[in-house]
């Protein structure tokens, strides 16, 4: 397994489309009040980390930029990177989760449909851009990204295959700490803190 630098991965806070159950992909939807509070919680969690990276890489989409503005302190350099954008869901962007579930049917639970949307990105395409990003990292970093992009990045980091990474959690208002091939969830409640290790 390739060894990458230590990472602190944040998903953006809750958005209006998250509440509505709509797929956002590369379209934009503003943070809700809860989403802003989740970003503030991420700031508090990061403040408790003894040695934080000095640089953060952020998806340029509005919901991640807004989250980063709240979650990251002024001492952290913020760099936008297109490779951290959410998956392009193509024709499915803006569709309701319930509508898509009825279209996909029994295969919905596997999650493989995420990479099969008409005019959308395939697993190979999103993996290639995320892999390119990881290959260029030379120092520990904070990453502010999206649900699907997050699990692709974390899955590559831990050496997971496609089905395994689709089982990873995509919570908001927490931090996924990656070091030496192992992921640890940093969350508000001590009961929520657990070490997550996966075998590919």
Residues 45-63: tens digit of each pLDDT = 999 999 999 999 999 999 9
Distance CA 161, CA 156 (A): 8
* Domain-located, residue 26: yes
Catalytic residue among 86, 93, 121, 183: 86
164 or 105: which leads in pLDDT: 164
**DSSP one-letter string for 38-81:** HHHHHHHHHHT-SS--SEEEE-SSHHHHHHHHHHS-TTSEEEE-
- State how many domains the chain has: 1
* Domain-located, residue 170: yes
User: What does the buried/exposed string (b/e) look like for 172-191 if buried means 16 or more CB atoms within 10 Å of the residue's CB?
Assistant: bbbbbbbeeeebeebbeeee
pTM of the model: 0.93
177: its two tokens: 């700490």
pLDDT score recorded for residue 123: 97
Residues 108-162: tens digit of each pLDDT = 888 999 999 999 999 999 999 999 999 999 999 999 999 999 999 999 999 999 9
* Domain-located, residue 52: yes
Residues 62-98: tens digit of each pLDDT = 999 999 999 998 889 999 999 999 999 999 999 998 8
* Domain-located, residue 2: no
Say what the alpha-carbon torsion angle 16, 18, 21, 27 is, to the nearest 10 degrees.
80
User: By the 8 A CB rule, do 21 and 97 touch?
Assistant: yes
Cα–Cα separations (whole angstroms), residue 185 to 67, 154, 175: 18, 12, 6
* Domain-located, residue 48: yes
* Domain-located, residue 28: yes
Catalytic residue among 12, 66, 114, 177: 12
* Annotation marks residue 12 as catalytic: yes
* Domain-located, residue 35: yes
Place of tokens 């001492």: 75
Exposed (0-12), middle (13-18) or buried (19+): which is 31, by Cβ within 10 Å? buried
Q: Tell me, what CATH number does 72's domain have?
A: 3.40.50.1240
* Annotation marks residue 114 as catalytic: no
Its domain, for residue 22, covers: 7-196
* Domain-located, residue 57: yes
């Amino acid at each position: 397994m390739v060894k990458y630098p230590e990472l602190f991965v944040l998903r953006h806070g809750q958005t209006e489309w998250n509440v509505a159950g709509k797929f956002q992909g590369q379209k934009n939807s503003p943070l809700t009040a809860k989403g802003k509070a989740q970003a503030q919680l991420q700031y508090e969690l990061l403040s408790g980390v003894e040695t934080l990276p000095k640089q953060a890489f952020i998806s340029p989409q509005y919901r991640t930029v807004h989250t980063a503005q709240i979650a990251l302190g002024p001492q952290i350099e913020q760099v936008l990177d297109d490779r951290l954008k959410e998956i392009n869901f193509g024709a499915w962007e803006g569709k309701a989760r319930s509508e898509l579930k009825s279209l996909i049917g029994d295969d919905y639970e596997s999650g493989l449909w995420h990479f099969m949307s008409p005019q959308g990105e395939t697993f190979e395409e999103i993996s290639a851009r995320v892999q390119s990003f990881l290959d260029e990292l030379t120092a520990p970093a904070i990453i502010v990204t999206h649900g699907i992009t997050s699990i692709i990045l974390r899955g590559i980091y831990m050496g997971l295959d496609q089905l395994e990474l689709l089982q990873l959690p995509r919570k908001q208002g927490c931090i996924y700490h990656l070091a030496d091939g192992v992921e640890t969830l940093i969350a508000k409640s001590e009961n929520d803190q657990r070490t997550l290790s996966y075998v590919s």
